[in-house]
Structure 1
Amino acid sequence: MQLPRDATLLRIFIGEDEKFEGRPLHEAIVRTARALHLAGATVLRGPAGFGHSSRMRTTKILSLSEDLPIVIEIVDEEEKIDAFLPTLDAMMSGGLVTLEKVRVMRYGEKV
């Protein structure tokens, strides 16, 4: 699979405890992106953060949170990301979704 030099980055901010059909939402999003043949996805777990509720979530031992911030990044051509958005919207009950243009410098193994 090749990626165009100019692509789109989809970034999804959710809480670790969010679910979709009984499984972790971040796992469901990545599995769905893979099933739809998007170029790739990465899940990042944050040690601290807050969102719309302004409730602080952190790994500090005195205020240990089980609902840490999760960021999912997916990069692909704009059309494929745009086609994925309605599916993503149906999976999410909250969170933040952003899009930005990116320049792909390398995708896959160096030949």
Structure 2
Amino acid sequence: MTSYTGRALRLTVHVGENDTWHHRPLYSEIVHRAHAAGLAGASVFRGIEGFGASSRIHTSRLLSLSEDLPVAVVVVDAEERVRAFLPQVGEVVGEGLMTLEECEIVRYGSRAHRSEGTGPQGTGPEGIDPEDTGPEGEKSL
């Protein structure tokens, strides 16, 4: 059952698996900061092969298991919330590529649709479900 559809912004941060912030994996720091900021969600994807600014190829092939594999941290939420989060990411990412892409959210869930509201699928203003709120009651996807 589709409970929300609408426009959002996807932030993808490309870093190395061995990158750290204060002795903690950088990808983990980004995910925990996104969670603390009340963003809708974040996921980490480990690549099997890739290269970046150094032009050095990193791979997961059997003879190279200890290589620094590429990692992508993906965060999706409303555009204004993702843009407000960018300074926190910039603070911890020394070397890495960050991209922003507009996307469309389709979320499936078991909650019954609300019949009131002005957004799509019976949601509140701008397509945000009034029952979905962040830590301080801020609306979040």
Q: TM-score, normalised by structure 1?
A: 0.91
Number of the residue aligned with 1:45? 46
- Shifted more, 57-66 versus 82-91: the winner is 57-66
Q: Percent identity?
A: 44
Q: TM-score, normalised by structure 2?
A: 0.73
For the pair shown, the structure with the greater C-alpha radius of gyration is 2
Could you tell me which runs of 5 or more consecutive residues in structure 2 were left unpaired when the two chains were aligned: 112-141
Q: Distance in 1 between matches of 2:75 and 2:40?
A: 8
Q: Distance in 1 between matches of 2:21 and 2:110?
A: 37
Answer whether contact 2:5 2:106 (CA < 8 A) is retained.
no
Number of the residue aligned with 2:97? 96
* Cα shift at 1:4: 6.6
Could you tell me which runs of 5 or more consecutive residues in structure 1 were left unpaired when the two chains were aligned: none
Number of the residue aligned with 1:27? 28
Q: Aligned-pair RMSD on alpha carbons?
A: 1.6
Q: Distance in 2 between matches of 1:93 and 1:3?
A: 35
Higher relative contact order (CA closer than 8 Å, sequence separation 6+): 1
Runs of 4+ in 1 over 2 A off after TM superposition: 62-66
Question: 1:1-111 counterparts in 2 under 5 A?
Answer: 5-106=6-107, 109-111=109-111
